[in-house]
């Protein structure tokens, strides 16, 4: 298992074991690069043994709080000191991104902890052969204790949403620990218990009464503090800079709180009218950063693609672009980078925020007779064929209006009628993200629509696509990525704000108003763009044989209806508006991933 994780921690490795328990660790040294940070780490009292992945940013503040004979200057040892004094309650003190495992020799229990936002992964499996856990699925498989059997409902989940909703994974015997959760495995009775120590749904129901001026001050203070915390490192660091609002805010804040010149990185794939490079250069010049502009041609990306897919620990509809950016950043000598990930979810940067507010005001539509709504949906789909009309059709055919179903529809790739034709199933399983959101029982109030959308985005797409991809693709190169927008104190505060304060009438208005000196009009009011790989052309051209081979193979697997899968592929190749690249690419990814299992 340790060997399977060597890419994540090339600096050191260690194993601790007794008669019934073994803990392994691979280290990427970021803070205190000495051997004193070696793991697994045993507590001074001898009772606890810990392995830890990630960072606790407030470890210096916590260090003096505990009377402990420290042997290092690592955050890891502060975590162990806190645990030895407070037990699992100590995790509520930690500000950071982390995955923690602690073996208690006395109680014979293993505790697993995942950070509040789910930035760092924790996979686990419990069967008749034992209990095991890891930062990656493929390390669990390397243990020989876990079956490679796919979970049928998860495969459907993946085809719908290009990912699998936590706590499930693509494999039947592997689970992912929910963020903000402590899992305890009791060796003596072979039982598992779970406790939640942080819940964004609860935070979103708190109400702030601050004025807009006070809100702007608080947002700025919390964001600056978040960035400053994330600059603690004993290795070279930098920032991803696309020239968008989020990355520009991060880079601007870094230059405000750091005495060092900041390294910034922009990957541009070719110079044309759609390139973001001029905006990144503008911010770099504005803050006098040491700017690295890395130029790649489409052929370069295609060359890297097989390696990017082989680094995909869990299948995802996205990710190769993160792999390429991380590779180039690491090769430039950087070991840690800050990213603007999370800004859209916290500050309402997606179109769905305004769309869901509009839908909430039109709930009366679902009081109309179902037959009338169904007829309207069919007529609309016939007049304007394409993905958008299929989604409108699915919305109008809901029995009753459901926030959760409406939200999930916006993120759905292959629609249910398409899937029924592709799978050998009499009935499709329930939508996992919908069921997950319904289980949270978040209160529905007129002034918290935006917070509900934020939490829904954070706990579905962000957690299971963006953060999973960011971790697995950056750590493939031993590059640590930190995300200041996901500081839990900042997120809690913004979630507590009523809709009228943070409605994005212009792009991320609250964030922009809070950082006017960091976000000039040239950046805020730039044309809506963003690099999009020419996947459609590639799949019809240079990548056709590669994709065709994998889609044809997947079509022959037991779960799939061969004729239906090949029909979807054929419709894409013919330019059918309802079958875009993002509907067929996950088929390629899934087959490639299954082949990686040796199946």
Q: Where are the domains of the chain?
A: 3-198, 202-348+461-524, 534-599
Q: For residue 298, what pLDDT is reported?
A: 76
Q: Report the distance separating Cα 307 and Cα 291, nearest Å.
A: 27
d(CA 129, CA 363): 50
Q: What SS3 class is residue 138?
A: helix
Q: How far apart are CA 528 and CA 510, in angstroms?
A: 19
Supply the pLDDT for residue 532. 59
> Span 467-479, mean pLDDT?
95
- The residue-averaged pLDDT of 553-565 equals 97
Is residue 443 very low, low, confident or very high in pLDDT (cuts 50, 70, 90)? low
| Percentage of the chain exceeding pLDDT 90 | 75
What angle, rounded to 10 degrees, do the helices at 449-457 and 351-360 form? 130
What pLDDT sits at residue 255?
96
In the sheet that holds 96-104, the strands lie side by side as 41-42, 48-56, 96-104, 109-114, 181-186, 191-196
Query: pLDDT value at position 599?
Result: 66
Q: Which of 328, 336, 242 is nearest to 251 (CA)?
A: 242
386 is in an annotated binding site: no
Question: What integer pLDDT is reported at residue 309 of this predicted model?
Answer: 93
Q: Using pLDDT thresholds of 50, 70 and 90, give the confidence band for residue 517.
A: very high
Q: Is residue 399's pLDDT more than 80?
A: yes
Q: Report the residue count for the chain.
A: 599
pLDDT at residue 531 above 60?
A: no
267 is in an annotated binding site: yes
CB 169 within 8 A of CB 154: yes
With 60 as the cut, is the pLDDT of residue 51 above it?
yes
pLDDT > 70: percent of the chain: 97
CA angle 501, 507, 512 (to 5 degrees): 65
Confidence grade of residue 390 (pLDDT, cut at 50, 70, 90):
confident
User: Interhelix angle for 403-411 vs 432-439, to 10°?
Assistant: 140
Lowest mean pLDDT among 203-212, 478-487, 557-566: 203-212
pLDDT higher at 301 or 338? 338
Least-confidence region, from 126-135, 191-200, 316-325: 316-325
Question: Across residues 433-459, what is the average pLDDT?
Answer: 86
Per-residue pLDDT band for 274 (boundaries 50, 70, 90) equals low
407: pLDDT strictly greater than 60: yes
Q: Is 514 annotated as a binding residue?
A: no
Which whole number is the average pLDDT over 289-309?
Answer: 88
Is residue 24 part of an annotated ligand binding site? no
Nearest CA among 572, 301, 202 for reference residue 588: 572
Pairwise pLDDT comparison (62 vs 538), residue with the higher score? 62
What is the residue whose two structure tokens read 């430039």? 332
Res. 123: pLDDT tops 80: yes
Do the first three CATH levels of 3-198 and 202-348+461-524 match, i.e. the same topology? no
> What is the predicted pLDDT for the residue at 38?
93
Give 305-317 pLDDT, tens digit per residue: 999 999 999 999 8
Residue 156 has pLDDT above 90, yes or no: yes
Query: What class, spelled out in words, does domain 3-198 have in CATH?
Result: alpha beta
Tokens of 407: 């939200």
pLDDT, mean over the chain:
92
SS3 449: helix
Give the Cβ contact number of residue 581 at 10 Å. Answer: 17
Right CATH number for 202-348+461-524 from 3.40.50.300, 3.50.30.10, 1.10.30.50, 3.40.50.620?
Answer: 3.40.50.620
State the Cα–Cα distance between residues 254 and 337, nearest whole angstrom. 11
- pLDDT single digits (tens) 243-262: 999 999 999 999 999 999 99
């Amino acid at each position: 298992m340790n060997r399977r994780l060597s890419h994540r921690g090339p600096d050191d490795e260690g194993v601790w074991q007794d008669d019934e328990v073994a803990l392994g660790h691979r280290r990427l040294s970021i803070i205190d690069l000495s051997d004193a940070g070696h793991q697994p780490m045993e507590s001074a009292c001898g009772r606890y043994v810990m392995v830890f992945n990630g960072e606790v940013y407030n470890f210096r503040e916590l260090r003096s709080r505990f009377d402990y004979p420290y042997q290092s200057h690592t955050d890891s040892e502060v975590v162990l000191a806190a645990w030895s004094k407070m037990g699992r309650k100590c995790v509520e003190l930690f500000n950071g991104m982390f995955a923690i495992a602690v073996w208690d020799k006395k109680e014979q229990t293993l505790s697993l902890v995942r950070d509040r936002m789910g930035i760092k992964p924790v996979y686990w499996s419990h069967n008749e052969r034992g209990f095991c856990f890891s930062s990656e699925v493929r390390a669990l498989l390397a243990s020989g204790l876990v079956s490679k059997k796919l979970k049928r409902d998860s495969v459907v989940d993946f085809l719908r949403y290009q990912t699998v909703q936590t706590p499930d994974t693509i494999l039947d015997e592997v689970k992912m620990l929910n963020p903000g959760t402590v899992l305890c495995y009791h060796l003596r009775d072979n039982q598992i218990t779970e406790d939640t120590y942080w819940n964004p749904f609860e935070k979103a129901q708190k109400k702030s009464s601050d004025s807009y001026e006070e809100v702007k001050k608080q947002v700025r203070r919390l964001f600056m503090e978040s960035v400053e915390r994330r600059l603690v490192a004993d290795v070279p660091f930098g920032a991803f800079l696309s020239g968008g609002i989020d990355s520009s805010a991060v880079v601007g804040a870094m230059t405000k709180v750091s005495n060092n010149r900041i390294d910034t990185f922009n990957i541009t794939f070719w110079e044309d009218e759609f390139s973001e490079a001029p905006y990144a250069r503008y911010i770099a010049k504005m803050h006098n950063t040491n700017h690295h502009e890395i130029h790649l041609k489409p052929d370069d990306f295609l060359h890297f693609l097989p390696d990017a897919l082989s680094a995909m620990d869990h299948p995802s509809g996205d990710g190769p672009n993160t792999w390429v950016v991380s590779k180039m950043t690491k090769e430039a000598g950087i070991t840690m980078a800050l990213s603007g990930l999370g800004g859209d979810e916290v500050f309402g940067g997606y179109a769905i925020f305004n769309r869901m507010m509009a839908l909430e005001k039109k709930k009366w539509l679902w009081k109309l007779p179902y037959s009338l709504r169904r007829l309207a949906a069919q007529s609309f789909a016939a007049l304007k064929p394409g993905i958008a009309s299929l989604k409108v059709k699915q919305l109008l055919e809901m029995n009753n209006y459901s926030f959760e179903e409406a939200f999930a529809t916006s993120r759905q790739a292959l629609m249910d009628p398409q899937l029924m034709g592709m799978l050998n199933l009499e009935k499709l399983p329930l939508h996992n993200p919908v069921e997950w959101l319904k289980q949270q029982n978040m209160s529905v109030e007129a002034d918290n629509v935006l917070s509900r959308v934020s939490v829904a985005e954070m706990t579905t797409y962000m957690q299971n696509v963006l953060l999973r991809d960011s971790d697995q693709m950056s750590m493939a190169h031993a590059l640590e990525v930190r995300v200041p927008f996901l500081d839990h104190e900042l997120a809690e505060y913004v979630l507590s704000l009523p809709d009228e304060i943070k409605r994005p009438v212009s792009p991320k208005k609250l964030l922009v108003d809070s950082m006017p000196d960091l976000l000039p009009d040239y950046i805020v009011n730039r044309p809506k763009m963003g690099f999009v790989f020419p996947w459609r052309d590639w799949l019809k051209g240079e990548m056709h044989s590669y994709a065709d081979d994998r889609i044809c193979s997947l079509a022959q697997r037991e779960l799939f209806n061969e004729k239906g899968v090949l029909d979807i592929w054929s419709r894409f190749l013919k330019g059918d508006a309802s079958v875009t690249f993002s509907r067929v690419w996950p088929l390629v990814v899934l087959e490639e991933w299954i082949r990686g299992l040796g199946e």
